[in-house]
Amino acid sequence: MALLVCVLPLVLQDYQLSLVNSALIAALGALALTVVMGFVGLVTAGNAALLALGAYGAAMGGAEMGLPFPVVVVGTVLAGGLVGLLAGLPALRVTGIYLAIATLALHFIVVFAFNEYQTQAVGSAGFFLPIATIGGLAIDTTFKWYVLLAIVVLFTWWMVQNLKRSKYGRAWMLIRDTPLAAASQGISLSTYKLSAFIISSALISMSGAFLAYSQQTVYIESFTLELAIQYIAMVIIGGMGSAGGAIAGAAFVILLPTILSRLIALLPPDMYAAGFLQQNLGDFQLIMYGTLVVVFLIWRPDGIAGLARALSTMFLPGRRESAKR
């Protein structure tokens, strides 16, 4: 992975690297969502609202109050954790589809509140953020953003991996698999569920701040319910409970529109299918997301991460022998 991170800026053009940056920001949110969905098994649809919280927190702190970029990021982390505590309260009572509906209510409440705030403050154009600076160094190029985001994503991946192996991760996965057994062993279901929501929400809010500063604009139309569904698709396609799979799922979902448009461009222009797909590319992308989610849930529930492990076991003898042992 480290080799790939170093090679990408050397082989990609500026526009292509900007797409990778978008995938890295999405990977932060997918890693965060893995904590709740993959480790604890709780379905939440409030991730777009938390992204909006981080983005508008960046707009308030950076654009309106003039606070330094690192201070704004820390502030969005704290705000996300606090909202995560409140959003996690329904998880103490309900699970499954009922929890998804409860967090969906959070989405509409947050989007409505920030829409009103934006309308009163700057109108429909949205907020324009200053260039992010760290210690006097301006993050003003695609390459600089790539370096910063790659470092943050690798650190977050390392942190989530260590959380999974810690006593918290083991407790979360026991709660996911057998809640009664977890309770019988003295594990506080409420404490561990809330801790997962707090950590996840703080990380998603942080990714929203990075999104706002990297684009230098914030407007409410970006934070749709479709965006929330995309993040859920990232976790499912990448592999539930896999930190590496979350990164792979984010890259797949974010880069899928570009891949599809390039593939459609290869079709003969006089073909009816080519024109039809180009005119309905957005709908076709949604169909692809839904189809892939169903395929992975039914035939490959461990996602891209599980598929990669299976392929490595198949083609690498050493991995195959270790898997048998």
- Whether this model's pTM surpasses 0.75: yes
Q: Tell me how many degrees the CA angle 251-254-259 measures, rounded to the nearest 5.
A: 95
What confidence score (pLDDT) does residue 324 get? 42
Alpha-carbon distance 316 to 310, whole Å? 10
- Report H helices in the chain: 2-11, 14-33, 47-58, 69-87, 96-121, 142-165, 167-177, 179-184, 189-215, 225-238, 243-265, 272-279, 281-299, 303-315, 317-324
Q: Is pLDDT above 70 for 159?
A: yes
Quick: pLDDT tens for 221-273: 889 888 888 898 889 888 888 888 899 999 988 888 787 777 777 766 666 66
Q: Letter for the amino acid at 305?
A: A
Q: Is pLDDT above 70 for 275?
A: no
If you average pLDDT over residues 37-66, what whole number do you get? 90
Q: Is pLDDT above 70 for 27?
A: yes
Pair 75, 57: CB distance under 8 Å: yes
What confidence score (pLDDT) does residue 25 get? 94
> Among 86-100, 165-179, 243-257, where is mean pLDDT lowest?
86-100
What confidence score (pLDDT) does residue 283 get? 73
Quick: pLDDT tens for 2-13: 666 777 777 788
Alpha-carbon distance 191 to 207, whole Å? 25
Alpha-carbon distance 263 to 286, whole Å? 16
What confidence score (pLDDT) does residue 140 get? 87
What confidence score (pLDDT) does residue 323 get? 44
Residues near 161 by Cβ (< 8 Å), separated by ≥ 6?
243
Helix 47-58 / helix 189-215 crossing angle, nearest 10 deg? 50
Alpha-carbon distance 269 to 187, whole Å? 61
Residue count of the chain: 325
> Among 137-151, 238-252, 271-285, where is mean pLDDT lowest?
271-285
More confident residue, 269 or 74: 74
Q: What is the largest CA-CA distance in the chain?
A: 67
> Which of 5, 13, 18, 36 lies closest to 100, judged by CA?
36
More confident residue, 153 or 96: 153
Pair 240, 84: CB distance under 8 Å: no
**Cβ count near 98 (within 10 Å):** 13
If you average pLDDT over residues 303-318, what whole number do you get? 75
If you average pLDDT over residues 36-54, what whole number do you get? 90
Q: What is the DSSP letter of 127?
A: E
